[in-house]
Structure 1
Amino acid sequence: MLIIILYFFIAVVFIQLFYYLGVFGKFAFAKAQKVTPKRLSISVIVCAKNEEDNIVEYIPLLAEQNYPDYEIVLIDDASSDATLEIFEGFEKQYPNIRLVKVKNNEAFWGNKKYALTLGIKAAKNEYLLFTDADCYPTSKEWITAMSSQFTMQKTIVLGYGAYEKINKSFLNKLMRFETLLTAMQYFSWAKSGRPYMGVGRNLAYKKEEFFNVNGFINHIQVRSGDDDLFINQAATSKNTTIAYTPESFTYSKSKTTYKDWIIQKRRHVATASYYKKLDKFQLGLFYCSQLLFILLPIILLSFQFYWIVVLSLIFVRYAAVWTVVGFSAAKLKEKDLKYWFPIVELILIFTQINIFITNTFSKPVNWK
């Protein structure tokens, strides 16, 4: 039995090395990206529901972008706070702001996709750039950096949406590491020709891509997934690229309680269950191999069974992963996370298990 477990462990290590070196290395070891400005007309789309505090601070940052031809489409999704009134004030203040007012619709109540669809249809430009109401760009060159990756063939651009750093907060490090790992995956698979998701905090595509797949209609019953489910359906090796220059990043404030973060992650995990079968398989295999890498050596080492071989495999895996994570973290300006890597990875693995079990017995609430 122990020899079988050892063989399984060796297979798990090779699977992990395949993912980190064979797939994730495509992003980690990629050359620095260049920004060549393009003169495209851009519509920046922001959908908000009860975001009065965030939009006061962040919408002016979007309105002050250093870009010659763009509009901002602000969507108020039937907010019950002062969001609409603030948006109306911005509409008067900035000539390039267009306001879309969404009223409660019984058939699509609480569904962000309905509100986004109205905003996309209202946008006057073909190239669309999305961010959330609680996000802000890192610089005035954000639109330039994201739109520069469009070409005649590449009509979907996946960007990086990071979280602000909070000093002396372990939860913040955990959240940022999970965000880094997720970005490392979807960037790498996109570079490998198998894009499977993107994040609405920083995402761009041509309007024609939206209508080519009939918008969100195929997953309209799922309240979340306006970003990842859409990309899972619309993105291909031919039409998708990535943007990872520092100027292209967006940031948002991280959750401050473990409970709030778990609620957010439950929504994300539940949405992933609607991915294409092959995408669910590759994600499932990766997370299963991570868990088995932790559990199998515990059994082998407790019996001191080929312990030198086991420890050698553990060292090789951690050396490879640490290298790939380190290079990826440097690209995404998250270098401090590599020093916390073994600890946060371990916690994240068991957090994922907890979320999967919880979601099996109860469905998370989506949107607001």
Structure 2
Amino acid sequence: METILLVLFILVSLVNLLYFFSFFSFATSGIKNKIHPEVPVSVIICAKNEEENLRNFLPAILDQEYPDYEVIVINDASSDSTLEVIEEFQKTDPRIKIVNVQNNEAFWANKKYALTLGIKKAKNDHLLFTDADCAPQSKKWIQEMSRNFQPGNSIVLGYGGYFPNSKSILNKLIRFETLLTAIQYFSYAKLGSPYMGVGRNLAYTSTKFYEMKGFASHLHLRSGDDDLFVNEASTPENTSICFHPDAITRSVPKTSFSDWFHQKRRHVSVANHYKSKHKLLLGTFFIFRVLFWLFFAGLLSLQVFPKIVLGILFLKLIIEAIVYIKAGKKLQETDVVWLFPFFDIFLILMQLAIFISNLISKPKHWK
């Protein structure tokens, strides 16, 4: 019996290592020099009750070093002074175009409806999306993201991180989870199976949007304007990734665990609508992470083959550390990687809690 448990533990460990070896496709990749086409770009920002964030972060969008771009700011039926703030900016910068969305009974509080109106307003085919609480980390954000619109590419996946707070463990946990998610979707895209992107930093063409009939296939779901669209529209041939340091955006993270937990519940509920192959890949990754720690704890408590068990753990941690360190350097998240064994276990437990919570009740969406 003990030998069987050890064999199962070794097999589970091999699957875990196989996943992290696949993540080397991103972690060890370099930035390729690409000819910059300097295509006209429409930056699209959807704002709902974001007056303060727009005051803080919209100037960074308007300060981009790019020759030809407009900024579509969507006021999604805000109840605060969001519209007035956008109008103030428009008075001093004609590149700002306003879309003022009124609540529609058929699309109540549906961000996809608001985004669709913003996309229709855009005069350019190349669209670059971010959120109202996001700020590009350089003046070359548009340049680096749009550089990836090479011939045949209609979707560009960028990295949307969060502002750091050295005093907050929650902040580090949120940023570690964001790093792990990015490692996954960048790696799968590199391996020819793109499956998601984040609306904090995502680009695609309006031609592709209309070709996919917009968000029609998942309009009944209030979330998923970013990852579900990418999951449906992306192919190995039409999708590019951008992790240049100048292309990173950062946004304001949640400051309470409860708010972040509810946010992650929404994300997980949307993932249930991914293509079957992607659900299988992501589900297997999670299940085998759980199995690893269960077998490890069981064998250690039985005090059988301790040297082998601890040796496998050491090997697993070394391989994972290499991936996290290399990816963390690329995405400027090096301060969060050193606690990865503890964060990994915590995230497994949290995902189990989210799964149970979503079975009991459906999460709320948008704002």
Aligned to 1:138: 137
Whole-angstrom CA distance in 2 between matches of 1:19 and 1:132: 31
Aligned to 2:313: 314
Question: 224-233 vs 25-34, which deviates more?
Answer: 25-34
Whole-angstrom CA distance in 2 between matches of 1:136 and 1:120: 20
Aligned to 1:11: 11
What are the equivalent positions in structure 2 for 1:319-334 lying under 5 Å apart? 319-334=318-333
- Kept after mapping to 2: 8 A contact 1:172/1:254: yes
Aligned to 1:79: 78
Whole-angstrom CA distance in 2 between matches of 1:327 and 1:253: 24
Consecutive unaligned residues of structure 1, counting only runs of 5 or more, are none
What are the equivalent positions in structure 2 for 1:184-203 lying under 5 Å apart? 184-203=183-202
1:94 to 2:99 alignment:
no
Whole-angstrom CA distance in 2 between matches of 1:15 and 1:315: 16
What are the equivalent positions in structure 2 for 1:251-270 lying under 5 Å apart? 251-270=250-269
What are the equivalent positions in structure 2 for 1:197-212 lying under 5 Å apart? 197-212=196-211
What are the equivalent positions in structure 2 for 1:332-347 lying under 5 Å apart? 332-347=331-346
Consecutive unaligned residues of structure 2, counting only runs of 5 or more, are none
1:305 to 2:304 alignment:
yes
Shift of 1:74: 0.7
1:159 to 2:171 alignment:
no
Output one character per residue of 1:258-300: Cα deviation in whole Å (capped at 9) or x when no partner: 1111011111111101111110110000011111111111111
Whole-angstrom CA distance in 2 between matches of 1:194 and 1:97: 36
Output one character per residue of 1:140-195: Cα deviation in whole Å (capped at 9) or x when no partner: 11000100111111110000000111012100110000000000000000000000
Whole-angstrom CA distance in 2 between matches of 1:353 and 1:218: 28
- Kept after mapping to 1: 8 A contact 2:37/2:150: no
Superposed structure 1 runs of 4+ greater than 2 Å apart: 1-5, 32-38
- Kept after mapping to 1: 8 A contact 2:141/2:246: yes
| TM-score after normalising by structure 1 | 0.98
Shift of 1:33: 4.1
- Kept after mapping to 2: 8 A contact 1:55/1:134: yes
Whole-angstrom CA distance in 2 between matches of 1:90 and 1:106: 30
Q: Could you say what secondary structure the match of 2:46 adopts?
A: strand
- Kept after mapping to 2: 8 A contact 1:34/1:245: no
- Kept after mapping to 2: 8 A contact 1:47/1:133: yes
Aligned to 1:213: 212
Aligned to 1:237: 236
What are the equivalent positions in structure 2 for 1:22-37 lying under 5 Å apart? 23-34=22-33, 36-37=35-36
Output one character per residue of 1:245-264: Cα deviation in whole Å (capped at 9) or x when no partner: 11000001111111111011
Whole-angstrom CA distance in 1 between matches of 2:105 and 2:306: 62
Q: Percent identity over the alignment?
A: 51
- Kept after mapping to 2: 8 A contact 1:38/1:144: no
Whole-angstrom CA distance in 2 between matches of 1:148 and 1:39: 7
Q: Could you say what secondary structure the match of 1:74 adopts?
A: strand
Whole-angstrom CA distance in 2 between matches of 1:32 and 1:208: 27
Shift of 1:3: 2.6
- Kept after mapping to 2: 8 A contact 1:325/1:338: yes
Question: 199-208 vs 84-93, which deviates more?
Answer: 84-93
Counting matched residue pairs gives: 367
| TM-score after normalising by structure 2 | 0.98
Whole-angstrom CA distance in 2 between matches of 1:247 and 1:170: 26
2:248 counterpart letter in structure 1: F
Output one character per residue of 1:105-127: Cα deviation in whole Å (capped at 9) or x when no partner: 00000000000001001100000
Aligned to 1:354: 353
**Superposition RMSD on alpha carbons, in Å?**
1.0
Output one character per residue of 1:213-243: Cα deviation in whole Å (capped at 9) or x when no partner: 1110100011000000000000000000100
1:290 counterpart letter in structure 2: R
